[in-house]
Each structure stands twice: as structure tokens, then as C-alpha cells.
């Protein structure tokens, strides 16, 4: 039976659809009936209205309807066939648009019957203008369609043709249209099913481009496999796309398949069978057709199979977004479906049938997995739980699990040692009616087992082993505890569903959670921190009730979660899960008030700590005006804010202040419940009007909360610059009313206003600066708040290095130096004025006492020096030379400033006078310490008694920059004399080139060996600079460098130090005896009797120190014996060194460890140079061939690759690249150096195992987020 007849075509020609579709019909016919090498350009749709040839085809071979070579096509659907043909012929004869007519065939196509076409053809051929002239009308097209069944089937379904067959055959276009079309006009894009499967898509394309074959495509279901095939084709390059859809048919029955194969003899097809019988498949291939067999997860197939991996998370989410789904919903649906396209379509509302296993399998087999939800096989407690639920040994239950995981639409996934439900929500919805009373009792009992006693640590068998510390693990995995809590959530979510054996699911869950948390100890709260977000979702009421009960106590147990304890790298606490749980609940209006009040109470009780997750930060994010994170309405939010801030006034005030405008603020997402909010829209709308209204409401709340506190009004005034004018006016009007009631002690509000005035008047031309009219308003308040006493009125000038004046200081572009001078002059004048007033009103003694009040007391000392002339007054200030270290800067700067005003002779005269007044040696040294350091000063110091000299040199801050080189040397020598070795290193590192070699080495020796008079501070950069300078010197002996490197090995071996201990490494590479001596300090001999003799007379402390140094040396050793600067290796030198070293090691009973270290240094040969692979090294390993040497070589080859960083979803690609590298080395040398090749092979296997582990972790992460 013909699918499309001549009459169908002629009727179609009368419709408006034909003009745009005819070119596409011919395009499909050409691609379906010509070789794959054919190049065809036949624009269709709106493109068919563009000028130029309607079609251009280049076919390499002669076919029934497409001649060999260039054919130029014109199409017409009008009833005047001849008129249209004449027009097109004449037009193209006049202008063939770049083609040579004698080399080209002119073809005219019409879907109408043209009875006199042969006469027209004969006339045109007679002109001999074109190589040939052809016309195809409805008769020819009917015959051509008979030879291209896939195209005929496609055309039959097109608008206006009117001959759609009901025959169990679909085109790929039809299948995709039906599969991808969802509710409310939703249309899934091809990327939804192809994302992350690009490699498999390319394999499919390669197969289609090759010889006819049978190829299996395996997915979770057959339907998904078909969808992948067609979606992939939609993403093929244009030529391959057109060719695929011109040839593709989806066939439902075996009979239809046989009929198509036997009847379609003039063209080839891409056939997608939907039946199970495999017998007719090879017949199809023998006739030139490609057969793409869709397979479900449990289908076996003995042909080549392309197995599809899980769809990529980000790719699918982006595809859903491009299909018109919001980002939030896309993430939610993708995660909940576990990237299973069948479940995803269910969640999106596509029509669906029950999975086959629901009707065919024993559902009780999967119930234990449903209840536990997820687990990890390496945790003892998880195994106990699954055995309790299944009532059989885990090994026996695994038989069932392995069967179920391979079903179509499998409800369970295995990733490495972990198992989880594919879609918990989907499975609980489907199977909840199958649960018995015993099942619910099992949930309750398992939850008690996993939670009520915390999560105890399972001690390793060998508690004393080194690995025991790192191998400790809990009895239950986080996965199983999360899985059980997840089950409680889903039971509660089914509250509206009639579940047999359970009257009120949510009440049942509430009781379980309340029994767990009510009156729980601090240890219990800490133990559930990780699971609290899920626990709060399972039972919001019970969770909140338990939290509030604890907080109501004098000593709340829950606050133990905030106590910090030592972690691996830094201190940590266990309260993050609690905050996330409260953030969860705050999303729902019914829980917002209680969750917010709890957060404010926690803010008040919060002891603080290193974690940025704090209660105050959580509640700030929830109520942030421009990005609030709750479904509560504006009115609800404002009512709740007012309520909670009145209950918790102090933390409430802080929250409200944080809610005022912040132009540089950022928002952080709060935690969201997964299932309770599954059908909620959290893609909130934020309007400017609502934001402004919030700010106004917050200001009113702040005003109502105000309690005449000086700091609070200062905070609120500080926020006024960011407010809208009406809100700013409201605050200032209120401030004018209340300021008389405020008792000012710190004058913080006055200082705050001064800062605002300075900032805005210094930058008047910026868009953020307040207008002067508003600044005047602030200045009026500033003047009202101004202190009346001189101290508070002027002391602020000495609290900052660059004090802020209310008049501001305008910044002029390109005048930074001039501006600096003017500003400094103004500040100096203001300070002098202030000190003058202090002296006039307070007197000298009281002015000097102010040094204990000001923050920058040294500035007060400098200003005082400029004003005091009288010697008696100077002596009064000099009494401060007795000040403690924290205040001595006042006296120091006074003296320093005076020395600049007067002279060094004046200083000596003052010093003599103070000596006469019996000032202490320490006080006298304070006269000298602040002075400019030079030979003149030092000579004077040297003339004084030893105690003063010692005080001076112990307390100066060396700054030997503007003195002669000889003076620098003297200064450093004096620092060494007074055992300030680390200060000597610091200052010498700034000018190492002028310091003699012997002095540089002496600095390092003394710092490394002698006890210093100052706190030790080994700074790698400064020490490295000195070593680099010594490397340039020719007047230092090698033995000295070896000694110095030995002293500083820990630093030279540390991360980030560029200068390695190269002299020591060279000695190791040249001297096997030294190598063995170093080994002796680290490793105990096999013959223990040798140890006592070796360490006779050496203290334990010395042994420990030398062992540390020796370890650092071997750890840093990169110099291979016999290796030259050009990376070549002197084989004789290397072999001799190894023979001698191994002989000495055997004598010292340390051959195994010597071999290990030799293996490690051989691995240091660089791999990024032409000389690699270095066979001389391989030859050594092959000849010695001890396990110790190969193990050392392998571990060092591994360690030199360092650590790696990757994204959470990246998997083991890095490790696979490394595995491929070592696989190549192994294959390249397996016959020449088999033992070395075996080392590389083991490394390859190790990296592949790591890659698998990283893949599994990435797969788990992809399904979780």
C-alpha cells in the first residue's frame, strides 16, 4: 500500500503548506536515496523565499533520481506548471549564479501533474544549454517516495497531505515531538537527555557514518535509549542531521520491520526496532540498513553496545532552563530525579505508566532499601540496619539488590560501596501503600539504633598502629543516618495520603523526633549536628519545641554545640547544622516567628568563634530587605520582626541595624528544605517599593527600641547617609528630640558625625556625597553634641594618625604630594593648638597624663616637644622615661622630636642632667633608643656603663638604612654581641651585599646554635636571601656552607623556599659515607646490637635533633649521583656510588632502607626534558631489583606529582591521565626492563583505582546537589 499517492501530492499542492515544505521533502528524498558523500543545499521553510537556486546538489554517483555531478534545482507549486518552469528556466539561463550550464543538470520539481512535461523537456534539451534538463511532477514524486519509505512516512504526517497511516511505524521527527512535548507547552530540548553523553553521541555518529551494522544503545529504559538516539541526531552537524532524519524510522512490530526491510530495496534506512525479537535484524543490515537497538537496564544483547552514563548535572539543568523552566525548579527536578530522564518527566507532569517491576516483581524485596534510603557497605552499623530490615545476611540480600539495580527504571543505584534510592520521593509515593505495621515499627527501631546513643567510634583492631589514628570511623555512616531521617520526612509528607496501618503519619514522626531531642544532652545535640537540617524538616514542631525547651534552661545543653575544640588545622565547633535547620524552617511562614526568635536568642548567647556561620548572620540573611529568604509576606515579616526584636532587644537592635541599606552588601543563600518545599516557588520577586518600605519600618522599630544608649544613636546616625531623604529626615528629627536625654561618656555620636562630615565634604563632586544643605543639618547636631570640656573636645586629634576634620579636606587630582603636605600642616597646627589649650587649662602634669587616654600617645609626645621650651618642663616630661613598654612611645617621640629641633649636644646635655638626677639606667637608655642610629650615637653609648649599653642594644628597633656600610657592619656586630641574632638576620637581609662573608656566616651560626636574648623568629625569606648572597662569594669554605645548611635544613626544605640545601645534597651525591651517616640518624639497624655502640655518649636530645635534620636533608635531596648540569648521567659514577653505598649500608645493617632512599633519589630525574625516559636509571633498578628500591622509586614518583585540585563533579580524569602516562611507560619497557615496567604497571593500577574512587565520589555529589 502506498503511503502517499499522486492525488495526495496534488491536493497538497493546493495548500499553503506546500511551498515551504516542498524543498525539505526533496532534501529528504535526496539524502535518503544518494550516498553519504552527497553534498546537498536545499533551503526550506522561510529560507525558501530567499533568492538564488532553490537547491544545489553534488552527487558522486548516478542514482535513479539524482544524476551524477552538479544538479541545480527549482521548485514550483503553482497550478501553472509550464509558466513557472519557463520563468525559472529563463531566469537561470540568463544568470546561472556562478555555475557552468554545460556541466550542470537543470531540474524542475512540481507536486502537480504536468501532462506535457515531456514536450517541454525535449524543447529545452534541444537548446543544448544545460548538460541535461529533468522535470519531476506528482507521478515521479510518487514513485520516488515509494523508494524512500522513511521520507514517505514522514510526508504522510505533514499538514495538508492528509494520509497519516496507523501502522506502528513512526519517523524520528514524530517520536521526538511526542516524547519531548509536555504539559503547558513545555518542550524538552535534546540536551536534556544528551548532556554528559557527548562521547556516546560521537560513537553513535561514527557508527552511522560507517558500514551498516547493529548497534545497541543501553539506557535505564528502552524509551530513554530511543530518545537519546534521536536527541543525539538533532545535535549532529547539519549534513548528518538531515541525512539521519531522512532515513530514520521507529518500528513497533516485528512484522512491520520485516515488511520495511523486504520492500525498501532502492534506499537505505536507519531503523530503530521497539520489539524484542532479534532474528530479522541481520537481514536489515545485509540490505544496507543501520539498526539501532534500544536497550533497557536489564536487557542482555550480544552485539556491540553503547552504554549511556548518568546525565550530566549542569548540562541537564541548563537544558531545562533553556526549555523554559526556572533555574530553581530545574535544579530541584534534576536532583530529585537523580538525573533519570523517566523520573524527571514524571516530576514535570508528563503522562506515565507504572514501572514494569511494580507489577512483575516481589515488592517486599525492595522495602528494606526503601526504609533505609541509603547506606555505605563499609560501615558496620549500616550493615546491621539493612540486615535487621531484610531479616537476612547482607550477602544474601545483595543478591536481590543486584537484581533490582539492573531493572528498567530501577528504584535503586549503586555507586562504589554506597547505595541509594534513585528518587526517594517517587519511590515513597509509589510504594507507601505496600508498607505494613511491622515496617513502621522497623523504621522506629532502626532510627533509635542509629541515633539514640550518638554515633560511637569503632576502634580499629590494632589500636596502637600509626594508621589507627587516621582510620577511626563511626559505627553508622552519615548516609544511613540521613537516609533514615529522609524516610521520616517522606512519611510525614504523605500526611494527606491514606497509608494503611498509620492513622496520622506526621504525628507518628513528631513523636520519634521529640523523644530523640527533648531534654537531650549537649553530646546528643552535637552528635546530630550533621542531620539537624533533615530532622527539622521531618518534624518542625518537635524540633522547635525541643530547641526552645533547652534554651529556656539556665544552662542550655544546646549551647554546647557552639563550644570550640581543636580541629585538624584550626578550632571548630558543631553548630552549623543547627543554623541550617532554623534557616530551613524560616522559609515557611508558619515557622518563621519561632525560628527567628530562636536565632535571636542564640545570637545573644553565642560565644563567638572562628566559623563565619553565626546565628546573627543567619537571621540577617532571612530578613535582608533586598533579598529576604522566606515565603512570608511583607506584612508577616514586619509583624514578626517587631515581635522578636521586642522580645530580644539587644540582638534585635543589631539585626535591625544590619537591615538598613548597604550599597556594597552581598547576600548568601540560606538552607532550604528539600521535600517540604518541593512544590513551593522560592523564585521570589523583590520590588524597590517594598525594599524602601522595609527600611522605613525598620527605622520606626529602631526608634521604638531606643533606650538612650550613646552607642546605639551613634550606630543609627552612621547609617543615615545610605537612607532615602525622607528616612534620613525622620532619623535626624528624632535625634534632635532625644539627644538631651543621652548621657555622653565616649562622645561616639559626635565623633561619628564628624567622620560623616569629613568624608562627604572631602569628596563633594561624587554621586554619593550628601548635598551641603543636608550636611549643615548634621553639623548643627554635631555642634549640639560637642563636649564642653577641653579634653573631650580635642583628644580625638591624638586618636588617629590622620584625624578627620568636620570641614573635610578636598582631594585634588594629581596633587597627592602637595595635598599630603597641606594636610599634615593642618593636622600639626590643630594638634599644637590642642596641646596649647591643654597646657593652659590643665597644666603640664595633667597634659602628660593624657598619654594614658589617647590611642596614639606618641603623637601627643611629638606635639608637646614642639611647644615646651623650659628646661624644667622638659625634665617633667622626662619622668615618663620610666613608663612601661606599652606607653614608652610617648617619651620616645618627645625625645626624638626634641633632638631634631635642638641638636645631639642638647641630648648629651640632657642625658648628663638626668644622670645627675640619678635616673635609672633603663630610663637613661630611653633617651638614646629613639635617636637616629649612627656612629656618633653609638660612640656615645659605648662611653656609658655596661647596663645602659645593654638596655640600648636590647631595645632599639634596628633601621640601619641611611648610614654608611661600615656603620651597618658595626650595628650588626653589636646586635650579635647582645645576642639579638634574629634582628641581625632581618636587618642584614636588606643589604647582604655590603656585609662580609664571615659576618653573614656568623649571624647564621649564632642564630642556629646559641640562645638568643629575643624571641626566636626564623623567617625563610630573610635566611634565603643570606644564603643566596653566600652562594655568590668565593671567600667562604665549602665546609662552612655544609655546616650552615645543616643548621637551617628545616627552613631550606620548607615549602616555598627557593634555595635548597644544595651543598649538602652535593655532598650526599659525592660521598656514600656521608649518605650512610645520615641514614644512621634516621633508621634503626636491623641488627639492634649496633645501635648502642653507634649512639654511645650522645644525649637523647642530640639524637632527636640530628634525626630531624637528617630527615629534612633526605626529604630535600634531589641531586642524583653522577648527574651533570646538562641532565646527562655518568653511568660509572652512579654505579660506583651505589655499590659503595650499598656495601656500607650492609655493614651498618641498613641495606633495605638504603635501597629505599636510593630508589627515591633515582625518581627525582626530571620527566619534562628530552632525556626522559632515562634508561641508565632503569638499568640500575633492573640490576638491583630489590623490593625496597622499587618501593622507594614508586613512592617518590607518586609524591613528586604533588596534590591536585578539581571541581566537586570532575571525577578521576586527572588520575586517568596519570594512569595512561604510566601505562605507556610500562608498555614501552616491558620487554627491555620488565621489573621497571612492573613498577609502572602497579602505579597505573593505583591511579586507575584512585580514578574510580574519584568518579564514584563525583557521581554521589552529582546526585546530591
Residues pairing with 272 in the sheet: 250
The pLDDT-based confidence of 494 (bands split at 50, 70, 90) is confident
What number is the average pLDDT over the span 721-741? 96
- Measure the CA–CA gap between 1001 and 1047, rounded to whole angstroms: 11
The pLDDT-based confidence of 47 (bands split at 50, 70, 90) is low
What number is the average pLDDT over the span 640-648? 98
Contact between 1234 and 1185 under an 8 Å Cβ cutoff? The reply is no
What number is the average pLDDT over the span 167-173? 88
- Measure the CA–CA gap between 132 and 72, rounded to whole angstroms: 10
Q: How far is CA 320 from the centre of its chain?
A: 23
DSSP secondary-structure letter at 374? E
- Measure the CA–CA gap between 1239 and 1225, rounded to whole angstroms: 10
Tell me which residue of 16, 8, 37 sits closest to 142, measured CA to CA: 8
pLDDT of residue 462: 58
Residue 279 scores a pLDDT above 90: no
Residue 613 scores a pLDDT above 60: yes
1128 HSE (CA, 13 A, CB side) = 3
Q: Which residues contact 888 (CB under 8 A, 6 or more apart)?
A: 880, 881, 926
pLDDT of residue 1057: 82
Q: How far is CA 869 from the centre of its chain?
A: 65
What number is the average pLDDT over the span 855-866? 95
Contact between 1219 and 1248 under an 8 Å Cβ cutoff? The reply is yes
Cell of 357: 517491576
Residue 64 scores a pLDDT above 60: yes
Q: Is the dihedral of CA 1187, 1188, 1189, 1194 positive or negative?
A: positive
Say which CATH architecture domain 6-156 belongs to: 3-Layer(aba) Sandwich (3.40)
pLDDT of residue 467: 47
Q: Calculate what percentage of the chain has a pLDDT beyond 90.
A: 79
More confidently predicted of 2 and 436: 436
- Measure the CA–CA gap between 923 and 931, rounded to whole angstroms: 14
3-state helix, strand, coil in the chain (%, to 5): 60, 5, 35
* Lowest mean pLDDT across 449-458, 498-507, 645-654: 498-507
Cell of 986: 632581618
Query: Ramachandran region of residue 1122, left (φ > 0), alpha (ψ -120 to 50) or beta?
Result: left
Mean pLDDT of the chain: 92
DSSP secondary-structure letter at 187? B
What number is the average pLDDT over the span 1109-1135? 93
Cell of 473: 570511623
What number is the average pLDDT over the span 751-768? 95
pLDDT of residue 1209: 86
pLDDT of residue 960: 95
Cell of 630: 522566606
DSSP secondary-structure letter at 1129? B
The pLDDT-based confidence of 473 (bands split at 50, 70, 90) is confident
Angle, CA 783 vertex, CA 777 and CA 784 arms, to 5°:
95
The pLDDT-based confidence of 1160 (bands split at 50, 70, 90) is very high
pLDDT of residue 469: 47
Per-residue burial over 785-812, b = 16 or more CB atoms within 10 Å of its CB, e = otherwise: beeeeebbebbbbbeeeebbbbebbeee
Contact between 573 and 562 under an 8 Å Cβ cutoff? The reply is yes
Tell me which residue of 220, 200, 490, 239 sits closest to 373, measured CA to CA: 490
What number is the average pLDDT over the span 903-928? 96
Tell me which residue of 787, 734, 735, 781 sits closest to 757, measured CA to CA: 781
Residue 653 scores a pLDDT above 80: yes
Contact between 1166 and 1129 under an 8 Å Cβ cutoff? The reply is no
Residue 1259 scores a pLDDT above 80: yes
pLDDT of residue 1264: 81
- Measure the CA–CA gap between 600 and 621, rounded to whole angstroms: 13
What number is the average pLDDT over the span 998-1008? 95
- Measure the CA–CA gap between 585 and 622, rounded to whole angstroms: 11
pLDDT of residue 501: 66
Largest CA distance in the chain: 138
Residue 681 scores a pLDDT above 50: yes
pLDDT of residue 466: 44
128 HSE (CA, 13 A, CB side) = 0
pLDDT of residue 359: 87
- Measure the CA–CA gap between 1044 and 321, rounded to whole angstroms: 64
What number is the average pLDDT over the span 1237-1262? 94
Residue 975 scores a pLDDT above 80: yes
* Lowest mean pLDDT across 134-138, 437-441, 729-733, 970-974: 437-441
- Measure the CA–CA gap between 748 and 738, rounded to whole angstroms: 15
More confidently predicted of 777 and 1262: 777
Number of neighbouring beta carbons within 10 Å of residue 339: 24
H helical segments located in 1062-1116: 1062-1070, 1072-1082, 1089-1094, 1100-1116
What number is the average pLDDT over the span 1169-1187? 95
List the chain domain ranges.
Answer: 6-156, 169-352, 359-503, 534-551+558-705, 960-1059, 1218-1264
Burial group, residue 939, by CB count within 10 angstroms (0-12, 13-18, 19+): exposed
The pLDDT-based confidence of 1204 (bands split at 50, 70, 90) is confident
- Measure the CA–CA gap between 893 and 1137, rounded to whole angstroms: 64
Say whether 1246 sits in a helix, a strand or coil: helix
Residue 1203 scores a pLDDT above 90: no
- Measure the CA–CA gap between 545 and 517, rounded to whole angstroms: 9
Residue 1052 scores a pLDDT above 60: yes
H helical segments located in 888-1017: 888-901, 904-916, 921-928, 935-942, 946-955, 965-977, 981-988, 997-1009
Q: Say which residue the cell 656500607 belongs to.
A: 1144
pLDDT of residue 463: 55
* Lowest mean pLDDT across 154-163, 419-428, 882-891, 1186-1195: 154-163
- Measure the CA–CA gap between 607 and 605, rounded to whole angstroms: 6
Q: What is the pLDDT of residues 531-575, one digit of tens each?
A: 999 999 999 999 999 999 999 999 999 999 999 988 766 889 999
Residue 811 scores a pLDDT above 80: no
Cell of 486: 529522609
Say which CATH architecture domain 169-352 belongs to: 3-Layer(aba) Sandwich (3.40)
- Measure the CA–CA gap between 1138 and 1144, rounded to whole angstroms: 10
Residue 152 scores a pLDDT above 80: yes
Q: Say which residue the cell 577641653 belongs to.
A: 790
Residue 48 scores a pLDDT above 60: no
Amino acid at each position: 500500500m502506498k503511503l502517499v499517492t499522486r492525488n495526495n501530492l496534488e491536493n497538497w499542492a493546493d495548500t499553503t503548506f506546500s511551498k515551504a515544505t516542498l524543498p525539505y521533502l526533496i532534501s529528504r528524498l535526496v539524502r535518503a536515496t544518494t550516498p553519504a558523500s552527497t553534498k546537498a543545499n536545499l533551503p526550506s521553510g522561510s529560507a525558501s523565499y530567499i533568492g538564488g537556486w532553490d537547491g544545489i546538489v553534488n552527487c558522486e554517483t548516478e542514482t535513479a533520481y539524482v544524476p551524477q555531478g552538479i544538479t541545480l534545482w527549482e521548485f514550483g507549486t503553482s497550478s501553472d506548471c509550464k509558466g513557472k518552469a519557463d520563468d525559472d528556466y529563463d531566469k537561470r539561463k540568463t544568470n546561472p549564479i556562478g555555475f557552468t550550464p554545460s556541466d550542470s543538470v537543470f531540474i524542475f520539481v512540481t507536486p502537480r501533474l504536468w501532462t506535457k512535461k515531456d514536450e517541454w523537456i525535449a524543447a529545452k534539451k534541444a537548446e543544448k544549454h544545460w548538460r541535461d534538463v529533468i522535470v519531476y511532477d506528482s507521478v515521479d514524486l510518487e514513485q520516488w517516495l515509494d523508494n524512500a519509505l522513511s521520507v514517505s512516512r514522514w510526508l504522510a504526517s505533514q499538514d495538508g497531505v492528509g494520509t497519516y497511516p496507523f501502522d506502528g511505524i513512526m519517523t524520528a521527527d514524530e517520536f521526538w515531538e511526542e516524547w519531548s512535548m509536555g504539559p503547558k507547552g513545555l518542550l524538552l530540548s535534546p540536551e536534556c537527555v544528551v548532556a554528559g553523553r557527548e562521547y556516546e553521541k560521537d560513537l553513535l555518529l561514527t557508527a552511522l557514518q560507517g558500514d551498516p551494522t547493529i548497534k545497541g544503545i543501553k539506557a535505564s529504559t528502552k524509551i530513554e535509549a530511543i530518545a537519546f538516539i534521536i536527541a543525539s541526531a538533532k545535535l549532529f552537524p547539519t549534513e548528518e542531521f538531515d541525512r539521519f532524519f531522512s532515513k530514520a524510522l521507529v518500528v513497533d512490530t516485528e512484522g512491520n520491520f520485516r515488511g520495511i526491510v523486504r520492500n525498501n530495496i532502492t534506499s537505505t534506512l536507519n531503523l530503530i526496532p521497539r520489539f524484542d525479537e532479534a532474528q530479522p535484524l541481520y537481514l536489515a543490515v545485509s540490505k544496507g540498513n543501520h539498526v539501532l537497538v534500544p536497550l533497557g537496564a536489564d536487557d542482555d544483547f550480544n552485539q556491540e553496545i553503547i552504554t549511556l552514563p548518568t546525565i550530566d548535572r549542569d548540562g541537564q539543568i541548563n537544558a531545562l532552563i533553556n526549555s523554559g523552566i526556572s533555574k530553581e525548579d530545574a535544579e530541584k527536578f534534576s536532583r530529585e530525579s537523580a538525573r533519570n530522564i523517566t523520573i524527571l518527566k514524571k516530576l514535570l507532569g508528563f503522562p506515565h505508566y507504572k514501572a514494569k517491576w511494580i507489577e512483575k516483581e516481589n515488592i517486599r524485596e525492595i522495602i528494606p532499601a526503601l526504609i533505609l534510603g541509603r547506606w555505605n557497605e563499609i560501615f558496620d552499623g549500616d550493615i546491621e540496619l539493612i540486615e535487621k530490615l531484610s531479616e537476612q545476611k547482607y550477602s544474601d540480600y545483595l543478591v536481590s539488590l543486584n537484581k533490582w539495580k539492573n531493572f528498567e527504571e530501577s528504584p535503586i543505584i549503586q555507586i562504589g560501596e554506597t547505595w541509594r534510592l534513585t528518587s526517594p520521593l517517587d519511590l515513597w509515593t509509589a510504594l507507601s501503600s505496600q508498607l505494613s505495621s511491622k515496617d513502621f515499627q522497623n523504621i522506629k527501631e532502626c532510627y533509635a539504633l542509629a541515633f539514640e546513643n550518638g554515633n560511637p567510634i569503632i576502634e580499629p583492631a590494632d589500636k596502637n598502629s600509626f594508621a589507627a589514628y587516621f582510620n577511626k570511623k563511626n559505627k553508622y555512616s552519615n548516609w544511613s543516618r540521613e537516609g533514615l531521617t529522609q524516610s521520616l520526612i517522606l512519611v510525614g509528607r504523605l500526611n494527606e495520603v491514606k497509608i494503611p496501618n498509620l492513622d496520622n503519619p506526621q504525628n507518628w514522626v513528631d513523636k520519634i523526633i521529640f523523644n530523640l531531642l527533648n531534654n537531650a544532652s549537649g553530646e546528643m545535640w552535637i552528635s546530630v549536628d550533621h542531620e539537624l537540617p533533615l530532622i527539622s524538616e521531618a518534624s518542625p514542631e518537635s524540633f522547635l519545641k525541643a530547641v526552645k525547651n533547652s534554651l529556656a534552661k539556665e544552662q542550655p545543653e544546646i549551647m554546647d554545640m557552639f563550644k570550640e575544640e581543636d580541629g585538624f588545622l584550626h578550632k571548630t565547633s558543631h553548630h552549623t547544622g543547627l543554623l541550617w535547620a532554623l534557616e530551613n524552617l524560616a522559609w515557611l511562614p508558619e515557622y518563621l516567628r519561632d525560628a527567628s526568635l530562636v536565632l535571636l536568642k542564640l545570637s545573644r548567647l553565642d560565644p563567638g568563634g572562628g566559623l563565619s556561620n553565626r546565628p546573627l548572620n543567619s537571621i540577617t540573611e532571612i530578613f535582608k530587605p533586598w533579598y529576604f529568604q522566606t515565603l512570608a509576606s511583607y506584612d508577616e515579616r514586619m509583624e514578626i520582626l517587631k515581635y522578636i526584636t521586642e522580645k530580644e532587644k539587644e540582638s534585635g537592635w543589631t539585626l535591625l541595624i544590619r537591615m538598613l541599606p548597604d550599597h556594597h552588601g552581598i547576600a548568601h543563600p540560606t538552607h532550604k528544605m528539600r521535600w517540604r518545599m518541593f512544590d513551593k516557588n522560592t523564585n521570589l520577586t523583590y520590588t524597590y517599593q517594598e525594599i524602601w518600605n522595609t527600611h522605613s519600618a525598620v527605622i520606626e522599630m529602631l526608634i521604638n527600641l531606643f533606650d538612650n544608649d550613646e552607642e546605639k544613636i551613634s550606630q543609627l546616625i552612621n547609617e543615615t547617609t545610605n537612607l532615602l531623604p525622607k528616612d534620613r529626615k525622620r532619623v535626624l528629627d528624632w535625634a534632635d528630640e532625644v539627644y538631651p536625654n543621652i548621657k555622653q561618656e565616649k562622645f561616639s555620636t559626635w565623633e561619628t558625625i564628624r567622620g560623616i562630615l569629613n568624608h562627604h565634604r572631602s569628596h563633594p563632586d561624587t554621586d554619593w556625597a550628601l548635598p551641603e544643605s543636608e550636611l549643615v543639618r548634621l553639623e548643627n547636631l554635631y555642634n549640639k553634641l560637642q563636649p564642653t570640656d577641653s579634653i573631650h573636645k580635642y583628644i580625638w586629634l591624638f586618636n588617629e594618625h590622620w584625624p578627620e576634620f568636620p570641614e573635610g579636606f578636598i582631594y585634588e587630582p594629581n596633587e597627592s604630594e602637595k595635598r599630603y603636605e597641606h594636610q599634615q600642616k593642618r593636622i600639626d597646627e590643630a594638634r599644637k593648638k590642642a596641646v596649647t589649650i591643654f597646657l593652659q587649662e590643665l597644666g603640664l602634669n595633667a597634659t602628660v597624663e593624657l598619654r594614658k587616654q589617647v590611642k596614639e600617645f606618641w603623637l601627643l609626645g611629638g606635639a608637646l616637644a614642639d611647644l615646651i621650651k623650659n628646661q624644667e618642663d622638659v625634665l617633667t616630661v622626662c619622668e615618663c622615661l620610666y613608663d612601661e613598654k606599652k606607653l614608652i612611645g610617648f617619651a620616645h617621640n618627645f625625645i626624638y622630636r626634641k633632638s631634631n629641633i635642638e641638636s645631639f649636644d642638647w641630648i648629651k646635655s640632657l642625658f648628663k642632667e638626668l644622670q645627675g638626677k640619678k635616673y635609672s639606667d633603663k630610663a637613661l637608655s630611653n633617651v638614646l633608643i629613639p635617636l637616629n642610629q649612627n656612629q656618633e650615637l653609638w660612640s656615645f653609648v659605648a662611653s656609658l656603663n655596661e647596663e645602659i649599653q645593654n638596655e640600648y642594644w636590647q631595645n632599639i628597633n634596628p633601621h640601619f638604612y641611611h648610614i654608611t656600610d661600615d656603620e651597618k657592619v658595626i650595628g650588626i656586630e653589636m646586635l650579635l654581641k647582645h645576642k639579638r641574632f634574629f634582628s641581625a638576620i632581618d636587618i642584614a637581609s636588606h643589604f647582604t651585599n655590603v656585609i662580609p662573608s664571615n659576618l653573614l656566616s656568623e649571624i647564621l651560626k649564632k642564630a642556629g646554635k646559641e640562645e638568643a636574648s629575643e624571641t626566636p623568629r626564623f623567617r625563610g625569606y630573610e635566611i634565603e636571601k643570606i644564603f643566596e648572597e653566600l652562594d655568590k662569594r668565593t671567600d667562604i669554605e665549602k665546609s662552612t656552607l655544609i655546616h650552615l645548611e645543616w643548621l637551617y635544613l628545616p627552613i631550606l626544605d620548607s615549602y616555598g623556599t627557593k634555595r635548597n640545601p644544595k651543598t649538602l645534597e652535593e655532598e650526599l651525591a659525592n660521598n656514600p659515607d656521608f649518605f650512610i651517616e645520615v641514614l644512621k640518624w634516621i633508621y634503626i639497624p636491623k641488627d639492634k646490637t649496633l645501635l648502642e655502640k653507634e649512639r654511645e655518649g650522645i644525649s637523647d636530645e642530640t639524637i632527636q635533633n640530628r634525626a630531624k635534620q637528617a630527615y629534612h636533608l633526605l626529604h630535600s635531596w634531589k641531586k642524583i649521583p653522577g648527574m651533570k648540569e646538562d641532565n646527562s648521567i655518568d653511568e660509572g659514577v652512579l654505579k660506583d656510588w651505589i655499590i659503595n653505598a650499598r656495601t656500607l649500608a650492609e655493614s651498618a645493617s641498613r641495606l633495605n632502607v638504603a635501597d629505599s632512599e636510593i630508589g627515591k633519589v633515582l625518581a627525582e630525574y626530571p620527566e619534562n626534558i628530552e632525556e626522559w625516559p632515562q634508561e641508565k636509571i632503569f638499568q640500575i633498578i633492573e640490576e638491583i631489583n630489590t623490593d625496597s628500591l622499587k618501593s622507594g622509586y614508586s613512592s617518590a614518583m607518586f609524591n613528586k606529582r604533588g596534590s591536585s585540585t578539581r571541581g566537586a563533579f570532575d571525577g578521576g580524569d586527572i588520575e586517568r591521565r596519570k594512569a595512561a602516562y604510566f601505562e605507556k611507560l610500562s608498555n614501552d619497557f616491558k620487554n627491555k626492563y620488565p621489573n621497571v615496567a612492573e613498577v609502572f604497571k602497579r602505579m597505573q593500577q593505583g591511579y586507575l583505582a584512585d580514578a574510580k574512587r574519584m568518579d564514584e565520589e563525583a557521581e554521589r555529589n552529582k546526585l546530591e546537589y
